[in-house]
Amino acid sequence: MQNPRSSSVLEYALAVVALARPVVDAVSRKDRDLASQLRRALSSICLNLAEGFGCSGGNARLRFQTAQGSLREAHAAIRVAVAWGHVSLHAAEPVLDALNRLGGRVFGLVRR
């Protein structure tokens, strides 16, 4: 059963995925492998958060840490896509900012 806090974090993570969709689509047109890895990392954030909220104790912390690692991977993948010129920094900035905000919330889950 989800509590309001878990629902809020998960809903925000899903909103970040929706925000990232155009960036992932743009990357996919230039580099399918990078887009696939980015897609998997974004999905992993949501799935591991959901799993963490369904666990207790150390298992929950492990899932939240995995979500945090996937978040960092997604962030790096977008920065790599910008570096390769697959997407502009202007297009990527809102997604990077949203990932940073989500990262703060996930960090709080890992620390508790």
pLDDT in tens, 21-57: 999 999 999 999 999 999 999 999 999 999 999 887 7
Rg from Cα positions in the chain: 14
| Homologous superfamily of 4-111 | 23S rRNA-intervening sequence (1.20.1440.60)
**Rounded to the nearest 10 degrees, what angle do helices 4-30 and 89-111 cross at?**
150
| DSSP-based three-state secondary structure for 54 | coil
| CB count in 10 Å sphere of residue 73 | 17
Q: What is the pLDDT of residues 78-110, one digit of tens each?
A: 999 999 999 999 999 999 999 999 999 999 999
Write down the domain spans for the chain.
4-111
Name the E strands within 22-76: none
